[in-house]
């Protein structure tokens, strides 16, 4: 059995984008976030949703009521935003989110999606702007996708 | 990036193992033990004897060890080493790994001076997302029912004068509270009237409101007017900076994209000089206490704001094991902008200030901080 399934595809997508930047390599984690290019193509629309959430919170703020985010179906995003509504950010929020990812039972694209969500929650909490958020989230889609998206944004801005 | 921290956890602790679904009874027992931990920490405070008694009464090894280490006022770094050497995380105990890590994380958080409610949230996250959210709701109810009230205590300052205006922009104020962090925010709000504090507390949920209230009470006991005034100025500076950032963000959008692959800016030499002087002038014992209250990540960020001579002093004040971990974090740290470095240096200055404040200081008394050091702290906190 091959340890990474379709190894070239895997290295082309996930490894280049995320794990290449890691000093701390771990095979268990690599296996957990393994997913195909097709699966990763579902990430950009989700990142768009996260950007919208970030924009809304930046302009409207968070109303710390009991039913806040009750309509949010993504449980990870909902819980993360609840933590933000309590004034949490920085190192401590990062610790909680990374523990949730560490014990997560999900695998593949669902787990990768949780990683993207956690990164977005942290960025929102730390008051980072849309560009910073995007620079942090796009690499999860693979280096090719990130470069394409950044080039597209740059040309749109130039227009 | 967060994924790097996750990778570190995997490298450091190995795979979490088959967390699976523990039996309901087992999970309920573990959750009840964490509830009890919160009760004990809140009720015993620094009563070492009570913590020791609790250790003797605990059945589970990890729980027993947690109380014992806290009763012994063990340093956070030593807690890490003790859990590693305890054998609880060895091969034969793998099935309990998340539960052992839960107790390690909670013990270390309390030893670092983190608020018990935050420690509880860290601990409950080891049960997984579903239980973590359930416990979060439980904690919200508990915080909401606490009924802690503040008394009137006003320190004239820039924030006191402009808080009404700031409250007209709740989103920006919420963001500033999160960026400043609870300790700095609470020190700043300590000088505001109860009327305004209640309006500010309504901007965060019940857990955050209770933590802020308790920190405000603590700041009023431990800080004198000058320190509260300095914290107010620092908070207001951050608030103003947020406005500047949001109004210029659109203009700078193109520049930010162009900077995507550019080399980072050179650090501000004046900031490095001031922060280095602060580290070199501070009392070794106080500096050591300050470093104990900081995470490895925060120390790493501070090191970026210092000259080599101050690196040496800081690293000599932490254990060799922690030195290695800090140096390991440095290797993966990205270059920072001068704004980020300023915030990191200001966070350190605030923590150093808090470490200088004795717990029994009465309002009106002056902190025993050397004049030069006071000047450096004030200068750093007032910088934009």
CATH number of the domain at B355, please.
1.10.220
Q: Give me the domain span that covers residue B350.
A: 266-382
For residue A91, the distance in angstroms to the closest alpha carbon of chain B comes to 8
Q: Say whether pLDDT at B383 is over 80.
A: no
Chain B residues whose CB is inside 8 A of the A25 CB are: 7, 11
* pLDDT value of position A23: 46
**B250 and B200 together in one domain:** yes
Task: Determine, yes or no, domain membership for B9.
Answer: no
Task: Determine, yes or no, domain membership for B224.
Answer: yes
**B306 and B349 together in one domain:** yes
- B222, B240, B262: which is the final residue of a domain? B262
* Per-residue three-class SS string for chain B: CHHHHHHHHHHHHCCCCCCCCCCHHHHHHHHHHHHHHHHHHHHHCCCHHHHHHHHHHCCCHHHHHHHHHHHCCCCHHHHHHHHHHCCCCCHHHHHHHHHHHHHHHHHHHHHCCCCHHHHHHHHHHCCCHHHHHHHHHHHHHHHHCCCCCCCCCCCCCHHHHHHHHHCCCHHHHHHHHHHHCHHHHHHHHCCCCHHHHHHHHCCCCHHHHHHHHHHHHHHHHHCCHHHHHHHHHHHHHHHHHHHHHHHHHHHHHHHHHHHHHCCCCCCCHHHHHHHHHHHHHCCHHHHHHHHHCCCHHHHHHHHCCCCHHHHHHHHHCCCHHHHHHHHHHHHHCCCCCHHHHHHHHHHHHHHHHHHHCCCCCCCCCCCCCCHHHHHHHHHHHHCC
**B211 and B280 together in one domain:** no
Nearest chain B residue to A80, by CA: B133
Interface test with A, best of B15, B142, B176, B205 (most A CBs within 10 A): B205
- Tell me if chain A has a CB within 8 Å of the CB of B127: yes
**B33 and B125 together in one domain:** yes
Task: Determine, yes or no, domain membership for B336.
Answer: yes
Q: Say whether pLDDT at A123 is over 80.
A: yes
What does pLDDT average to over chain A? Answer: 80
B2, A119: Cβ pair inside 8 Å?
Answer: yes
A83, B245: Cβ pair inside 8 Å?
Answer: no
Residues B47-73 have pLDDT tens digits of: 788 888 888 888 888 999 999 999 888
Task: Determine, yes or no, domain membership for B219.
Answer: yes
What is this structure's pTM?
0.71
**B258 and B293 together in one domain:** no
- B234, B262, B290: which is the final residue of a domain? B262
- Tell me if chain A has a CB within 8 Å of the CB of B332: yes
Confidence of residue B273 (pLDDT cuts 50, 70, 90): confident
Task: Determine, yes or no, domain membership for B353.
Answer: yes
Nearest chain A residue to B124, by CA: A96
Q: What's the ipTM? A: 0.84
* pLDDT value of position B181: 92
**B329 and B355 together in one domain:** yes
- Tell me if chain A has a CB within 8 Å of the CB of B207: yes
B260, A157: Cβ pair inside 8 Å?
Answer: no
**B28 and B139 together in one domain:** yes
Nearest chain A residue to B3, by CA: A115
Number of domains in chain B: 3
Task: Determine, yes or no, domain membership for B4.
Answer: no
For residue A86, the distance in angstroms to the closest alpha carbon of chain B comes to 5
**B108 and B184 together in one domain:** no
| A44-64 average pLDDT score | 90
Task: Determine, yes or no, domain membership for B18.
Answer: no
- B215, B239, B262: which is the final residue of a domain? B262
**B227 and B305 together in one domain:** no
For residue A77, the distance in angstroms to the closest alpha carbon of chain B comes to 10
What does pLDDT average to over chain B? Answer: 82
**B206 and B289 together in one domain:** no
Residues B95-140 have pLDDT tens digits of: 578 888 999 999 999 999 899 999 999 999 999 999 999 999 999 9
- Tell me if chain A has a CB within 8 Å of the CB of B134: no
**B243 and B167 together in one domain:** yes
A76: nearest CB among B129, B246, B249: B129
**B272 and B361 together in one domain:** yes
């Amino acid at each position: 059995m091959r340890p990474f399934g379709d190894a070239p595809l895997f290295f082309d997508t996930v490894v280049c984008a995320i794990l290449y930047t890691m000093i701390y390599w771990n095979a268990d984690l690599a296996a957990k976030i393994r997913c195909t290019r097709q699966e990763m193509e579902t990430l950009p629309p989700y990142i768009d949703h996260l950007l919208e959430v970030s924009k809304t919170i930046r302009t409207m703020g968070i109303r710390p009521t009991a039913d806040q985010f009750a309509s949010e179906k993504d449980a990870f995003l909902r819980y993360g935003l609840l933590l933000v509504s309590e004034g949490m950010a920085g190192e401590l929020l990062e610790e909680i989110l990374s523990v949730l990812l560490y014990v997560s039972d999900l695998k593949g694209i669902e787990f990768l999606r949780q990683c993207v969500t956690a990164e977005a929650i942290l960025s929102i909490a730390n008051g980072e702007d849309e560009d910073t958020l995007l620079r942090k989230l796009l690499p999860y889609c693979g280096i090719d996708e990130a470069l394409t998206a950044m080039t597209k944004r740059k040309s749109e801005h130039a227009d | 990036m967060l994924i790097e921290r996750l990778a570190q956890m995997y490298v450091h602790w190995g795979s979490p193992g088959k967390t699976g679904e523990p039996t309901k009874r087992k999970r309920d027992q573990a959750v009840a033990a964490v509830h009890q931990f919160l009760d004990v920490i809140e009720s015993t405070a620094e009563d070492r004897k009570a913590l020791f008694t609790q250790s003797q009464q605990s059945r589970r090894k990890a729980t027993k060890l947690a109380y014992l280490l806290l009763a012994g006022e063990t340093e956070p770094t030593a807690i890490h080493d003790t859990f590693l050497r305890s054998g609880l995380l060895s091969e034969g105990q793998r099935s309990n790994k998340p539960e052992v890590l839960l107790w390690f994380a909670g013990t270390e958080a309390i030893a670092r001076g983190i608020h018990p409610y935050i420690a509880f949230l860290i601990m409950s996250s080891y049960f997984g997302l579903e239980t973590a959210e359930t416990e979060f709701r439980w904690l919200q109810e508990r915080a909401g029912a606490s009924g802690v009230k503040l008394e009137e205590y006003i320190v004239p300052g820039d924030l006191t004068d402009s808080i009404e205006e700031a409250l007209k922009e709740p989103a920006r104020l919420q963001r500033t509270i999160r960026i400043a962090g609870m300790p700095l925010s609470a020190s700043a709000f300590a000088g505001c009237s109860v009327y305004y504090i209640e309006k500010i507390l309504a901007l965060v949920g019940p857990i955050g409101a209770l933590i802020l209230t308790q920190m405000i009470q603590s700041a009023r006991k431990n800080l004198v007017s000058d320190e509260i005034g300095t914290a107010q100025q620092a908070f207001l500076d951050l608030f103003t900076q947020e406005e500047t950032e949001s109004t210029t963000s659109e203009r700078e959008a193109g520049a930010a994209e162009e900077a995507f692959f550019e080399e980072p800016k050179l650090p501000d030499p004046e900031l490095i000089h001031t922060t280095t002087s602060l580290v070199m002038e501070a009392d070794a014992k106080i500096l050591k206490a300050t470093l104990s209250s900081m995470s490895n990540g925060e120390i790493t960020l501070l090191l970026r704001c210092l000259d080599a001579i101050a690196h040496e002093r800081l690293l000599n004040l932490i254990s060799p094991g922690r030195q290695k971990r800090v140096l390991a974090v440095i290797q993966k740290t990205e270059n920072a902008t001068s704004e980020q470095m300023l915030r990191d240096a200001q966070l350190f200055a605030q923590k150093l200030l808090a470490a200088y404040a004795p717990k029994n200081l009465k309002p009106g008394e002056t902190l025993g901080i050397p004049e030069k050091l006071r000047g450096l702290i004030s200068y750093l906190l007032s910088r934009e």
